[in-house]
Amino acid sequence: MNWDIIQGKWKQLKGSAKEKWGELTDDELDVIDGNKDKLAGKLQEKYGWTKNEAEKHIDDHFRDR
């Protein structure tokens, strides 16, 4: 899915992000607000992933949304 579409639908999609990455809080997801770079940074912080790993997880998760 195009990231512009994800940003526009973030309120609907953040539930699936919360389910996938349970360590992210609702407040963090609100701050991320559909911004891919912010999401990648927060996943790096929470899970210890590299930027490339975080972006791959994000792309894989939102590909079929």
Distance CA 64, CA 5 (A): 12
Pick the CATH number of 3-62 from 1.10.760.10, 1.10.3470.10, 3.40.50.150, 1.10.1470.10: 1.10.1470.10
Contact in structure between 47 and 58 (CB atoms under 8 Å):
no
Show me where the domains of the chain are located.
3-62
Stretch 23-43: mean pLDDT: 97
Stretch 1-24: mean pLDDT: 94
Contact in structure between 7 and 35 (CB atoms under 8 Å):
yes
Rounded to a whole number, what is the distance in angstroms from the first to the last CA of the chain? 6
* Tokens encoding 12: 């609907």
Stretch 8-24: mean pLDDT: 96
